Structure formats: C-alpha cells, structure tokens
Amino acid sequence: MAAAGLRTIRRKIRVVTNIQHITKAMQMVAAAKLRRAQGALTAGRPYWDRMQQLVARVAQAAGQVHHPLLDARPEVRAVGLLAIAGDKGLCGAYNANVARLVVRWVGEQQHPVRTMVVGRKLLPYLRRGGCEVAYSTSAPTGADATPAALSIARRLRDWYETGAVDEVYVCYARFISAIENRPAVVPLMPVSAFATPEEGRGGELEYIFEPEPAELLGRLLPRFVDAQVSHLVLEAAASEHGARMTAMSAATRNAEEMIDTLTLGANRARQAGITKELLEVVTGAEALAEG
C-alpha cells in the first residue's frame, strides 16, 4: 500500500515537473516578445510625439478649418468602440479585465455602440455581456502588426466619415511596466486634443507651411489617426506579453513549491515504508528468538 502511494506521488512529481518546464519556456518566450514590443514602443515614440506636435501646430495655424475627422458632431446617434485584447490565454486577468471594462463602458452609454474587436479572446466575454460586435479580427503580431493596425484604423475612419458612428473610442490595456497594465478607454475621433499655443507668442507661430495649413491638415489628420491606433495596438501587445510573462513566472514558482511539497511527501512515505519493514524484521527476529 505504501509503495503504491509512493508511486502515485512520484508520478505527480513528474507531471508537475513537465508543467514547470512548459511554464518556464512560455515565460522566456513572453519575456523575449515583451522586449521586442518595448523596443517598438520606444522606437515609435519620437514619431508619435512629433506627429502630435506637428498636427497641433498646423491646426493652430489653420484657424477655423473644417475637416470630417476634426469637427465634433452636434448630435450623436451612434458610438464606435475599438476593443483591443489578445488571441491567447495564460496571461492572468489581462483579457478579462479589458472585457469587463468594455461591458461596463458599453452599458453606461446612452447611444447604440458599434464594437470592433481585436483579439479573439474578447468575443465570448462580449457576447455574454450583450455587446454588439460589428467586426472582429485577430490581434496583430510580428511583422504584420503595423499593416494590420493601419487596416483597422482605415476601417474606423470609414465608420466615422460615412456617418455610421459619430464618435469613436478605444479600449485597451495601457502599458505601465512589465508587471502592471491598466485598462482604459480613450477618445479617438473626432480629433480635438490639440496643444495650446506657445506662451509669450500669443498664438503666433513662426512657420512657413507648404501647402497651405488647411490642405496640410487634411493630409495629416488621417495619418494622425493611423499613428494613434498603431501606438495603442503596440501598447496593448506590450501589456499582453508583460501579463503573460508575470503569469507564467507565478505558475513556475507555484510548480516549484508543489514539487518541493510532493518531494517532502515522497521522502516521508519512503521513510515510513523503510521504518515499517524494519519493524517487521525486528518483530520477526524477536519472535524467532523467543521460540
């Protein structure tokens, strides 16, 4: 009976050890992907910052220019939402946190919400929450991330420019660090968050624009929206890899603790078996001596 129990414990140790190897490998893969995602964020941040500054300056110089992506509509009849999460699990509460925020945010809206989902893991949550999913796609990764993000941005711009929606928001997990991300909802369209004029110049900007500011702004605004969507997709990807690395690190530690506990139990069971056999030998020897 003791031998059978010891074999069971050893079999559990082998199973948990195999699981630990898998979680350790997934942790290392997630760490490598996180480094690449952080590198892409760092490399793209100067372009993103410069684009914001350029659009702000051109918008100030253009004055009361009208553009479909810039003007707020007086009556909001429908709202568009881009929800970004992951295609895979094993990343802690990352997907669930984004899904809960989406469901809560949609429930608070007074207008119909048309949702575009990036990441297959969100679909079951949102359908159970009663959200209308108008379009869904896989989360962009690797070399296809930028073209896929631009395709998503173009579809959102089509929704807004054709009047299918009157406002567009993005729900994503903001990347704070490798161990922390915060789900947030940010406005995307209409594009109205421009910088204020520089102090001491009364709004007079010493720039020469070619072509005219209004025409230049018309070309910049679509690219500004594309750049913003690409930036948010990169942030969501970094958050996912960080969450997966953290979750797999915790799973590896838990497996190690379980192996230690099972090993201790196996040693105790083995010692108990040895002690029992010794007692049987001693008892038998004493019986023979007395006989």
Annotated catalytic, 131?
Answer: no
Helix/strand/coil for 260:
helix
Q: How far apart are CA 37 and CA 44, in angstroms?
A: 11
Please give the structure tokens belonging to residue 81: 């939402």
Strand order in the sheet with 79-84: 133-137, 113-118, 79-84, 167-177, 180-189
Of 9, 69, 85, 91, which residue is the catalytic one? 91
Please give the structure tokens belonging to residue 65: 């220019």
Say if residues 190 and 69 touch (Cβ distance below 8 Å): yes
Helix 213-290 and helix 94-108: axis angle, to 10°? 130
* Residues 217, 51, 182: CA angle, nearest 5 degrees: 125
Looking up tokens 């809206």, which residue turns up? Answer: 109
Long-range contacts of 261-268 (CB under 8 A, 24+ apart): 262/9, 262/12, 262/13, 262/16, 263/13, 265/9, 266/6, 266/9, 266/10, 266/13
- Picking from 82, 50, 28, 14, the residue whose alpha carbon sits closest to that of residue 195 is 50
Residues carrying an active site annotation: 91
